[in-house]
Amino acid sequence: MNARLAVKENEIQVRNLFNSSVELAERKGISVEEVIDFKVKIGIKFSKTESQKAAWELRGEQAKELNSK
């Protein structure tokens, strides 16, 4: 996978993380940021490499930025 495709795939995953977090937050009546934190913790827990863990942390930060817009 080249760098451009990797960036696009990450953007898609960030958008999916954000959208699913908004939906879950509405259903559960909690904040979107709490849901993002929870999903990131789960992603990190089941990551097999350090780079996957770092990717989840970055996705969480980017999703929180989308939430603040």
Confidence band (pLDDT; 50, 70, 90) for 2? confident
What's the domain count of the chain?
Answer: 1
Q: Is the pLDDT of residue 69 over 90?
A: no
The predicted-structure confidence for 13-53, as pLDDT tens digits, reads as follows: 999 999 999 999 999 999 999 999 999 999 999 999 999 99
- Phi/psi region, residue 29 (left: phi>0; alpha: psi -120 to 50; beta: rest), is left
Give the position of tokens 């929180």.
64
User: Model-level pTM greater than 0.85?
Assistant: yes
Domain that holds residue 9: 3-68
Q: Classify the C-alpha dihedral 3-46-14-59 as positive or negative.
A: negative
Assess contact for 13 and 63: CB atoms under 8 A: no
